[in-house]
Amino acid sequence: MQLTSFFKSAATLITATCLSLSAATAAQADTFPSRPINLVVPFNAGGGVDAYARALAAGARDLIDVPVVVVNKPGAGGLTGAQSVATARPDGYTLLLTSGGSFLLNTMLNASPVDMFENFQFVSQIGQLSTALMVPANSPYKSANELIAALQENPGKLRWAHSGRGGFHYIAGRAFLESNNLTAQDVPFKGGSPARAALAGAQTDFGFMGIQQARGFGELIHPLALVADERDGIMQDIPTFKELNIPFVNIGSPVVVMAPTKTAADVVAQLNQYLEQITATTTFAELIEKQGTAALYAQPAVIEQKMLDMRTASTPVITQLTGQVQ
């Protein structure tokens, strides 16, 4: 008898818990977001991509009732963090903010457990990172054409610095050399800052690195041409390869926010709307501009198409690279 009553009360308790839980989930679904949103950055705090996340979190404060929490999960060139989001519960509370170009090229270069298009859906683009051809300030080459002439005269003799072979700066540089039938020796450095230091100290003849890296280094580094169709929003006096009529492949890196594939469409739409609003705020724009990179908003469909185009454009270079090693 006592035992039965125990079971009864236990059953009641369990039912009640289940009911209240389901009620809670229903309430949650009604008012997304109802708890903090985790924004995973697959790089260390203090870097360029991280700054976008921090600016986003700061801009979200006035618009969204719940806090946006930046979580740094560095490792494997950004794939560790990406994988953690891909396998997270697709409820819209765990999102990935990353450099789209580096993510894409990394998965193309290495056997990767995650795929940009299969495991994720795009929420929106919030920024753009561009790379530029740069030389040391005391370099004899004063323009991109002079450098090309020197490269033609001394095939394979000149050296160039970049931030690592998985990154979009390297692929952009390789694509530039290929398009102009030039050869040069690349020297990979671990990250953008050491590459810039090597260029500033004239350890290499030229380099491909983020255009924002030239800010404050005017005495030591001269950017010659930007890998883009249009000039940079901040460094406006640097011509693009397109204006100079020099063949190139337009490889940049859109900064994107992505959610796991199975996230509900209305949640993604809601998030996209928030991001559109946040990127339009002055808080966000100012924070991003201070670090020298650009804020750029684009709808999910637009950015997905951009990334697909970039995959097509970089496939020849990647095939050549992976072919080299085999």
Q: Catalog residues that contact other proteins under the rule CB under 8 A.
A: 44-47, 50-51, 54, 57-58, 70, 72-77, 79-80, 83, 109-113, 159, 164-166, 185-190, 193-194, 196-198, 200-201, 203-204, 213, 215-220, 287, 290-292, 325
Q: Are 245 and 94 in contact (CB under 8 A)?
A: no
Nearest to 94 by CA among 39, 25, 36: 39
Q: Which residues, including other chains, have CB under 8 Å from residue 157's CB and lie 6 or more apart?
A: 184, 185
Angle at 160 between CA 248 and CA 214, to 5 degrees: 80
Nearest to 239 by CA among 228, 249, 253, 254: 228
Smaller CB distance to other proteins: residue 133 or 200?
Answer: 200
How near is the Cβ of 20 to other proteins at its closest, in Å? 31
- N-term to C-term CA, the chain: 75
Q: Are 202 and 139 in contact (CB under 8 A)?
A: yes
CB neighbour burial string for 18-50, b if at least 16 within 10 angstroms, e if fewer: eeeeeeeeeeeeeebbeeebbbbbbbeeebbbb
Smaller CB distance to other proteins: residue 84 or 272?
Answer: 84
How near is the Cβ of 165 to other proteins at its closest, in Å? 3
How near is the Cβ of 211 to other proteins at its closest, in Å? 14
How near is the Cβ of 247 to other proteins at its closest, in Å? 25
How near is the Cβ of 202 to other proteins at its closest, in Å? 9
Smaller CB distance to other proteins: residue 67 or 302?
Answer: 67
Q: Which residues, including other chains, have CB under 8 Å from residue 318's CB and lie 6 or more apart?
A: 105, 108, 109, 171
Sign for the CA dihedral angle at 303, 304, 305, 306 comes to positive
Quickly list H helices, 41-167.
48-60, 79-86, 100-109, 144-153
How near is the Cβ of 98 to other proteins at its closest, in Å? 16
d(CA 285, CA 42): 22
How near is the Cβ of 21 to other proteins at its closest, in Å? 27
Smaller CB distance to other proteins: residue 164 or 233?
Answer: 164
How near is the Cβ of 80 to other proteins at its closest, in Å? 6
Smaller CB distance to other proteins: residue 188 or 233?
Answer: 188
Smaller CB distance to other proteins: residue 51 or 95?
Answer: 51
Q: What counts of helices (H) and strands (E) characterise the chain? A: 10, 11
Smaller CB distance to other proteins: residue 115 or 243?
Answer: 115
Residue 107 CA: distances (Å) to CA of 77, 216, 226:
10, 33, 25
How near is the Cβ of 15 to other proteins at its closest, in Å? 35
Smaller CB distance to other proteins: residue 41 or 258?
Answer: 41
Q: Which residues, including other chains, have CB under 8 Å from residue 168's CB and lie 6 or more apart?
A: 99, 101, 102, 105, 129, 131, 251, 252, 253
Smaller CB distance to other proteins: residue 72 or 143?
Answer: 72
